[in-house]
Amino acid sequence: MESDRYIGVWALLMSGTHPVRQRLCGQEERRRVRGPARLLGLTEESVGDLVAWSLLLLGVVLALGMLGAVELLIRLSGG
């Protein structure tokens, strides 16, 4: 039944072991990562943020590089 499923989900949320409840109550466990990032004391969340920012920066650098290459080609072609 549909109502039994909702009761089961509600019971899991209220049990204190569900990640959403732990996050809402500030009880979430910050999992440490392995490898070199562990030496820096980084968590999975902070590593994810670092990866996102580095990919954004890489995209900006590549875009500027392509604009510079196009400008150079225009100058070399005499335009």
What is the tally of structural domains in the chain?
2
Q: Is 67 helix (H, G, I), strand (E, B) or coil?
A: helix
Please tell me whether residues 41 and 79 are part of one structural domain: yes
Q: Which residue has the higher pLDDT, 43 or 72?
A: 72
Task: Write out the residue range of the structural domain in which residue 39 sits.
Answer: 35-79
Specify whether the CB–CB gap between 42 and 33 falls below 8 A: yes
**Residues 17 and 42 placed together within one structural domain of the fold:** no
Residue 46 binned pLDDT confidence (cut-offs 50, 70, 90): confident
| pTM value > 0.85 | no
- Provide the Cα torsion 43, 46, 51, 53; round to 10°: -170
Q: Which helix (H) or strand (E) holds 46?
A: helix 44-76
40 shares a domain with 26: no
Same domain, 48 and 75: yes
pLDDT above 70 for 67: yes
pLDDT of residue 11: 65
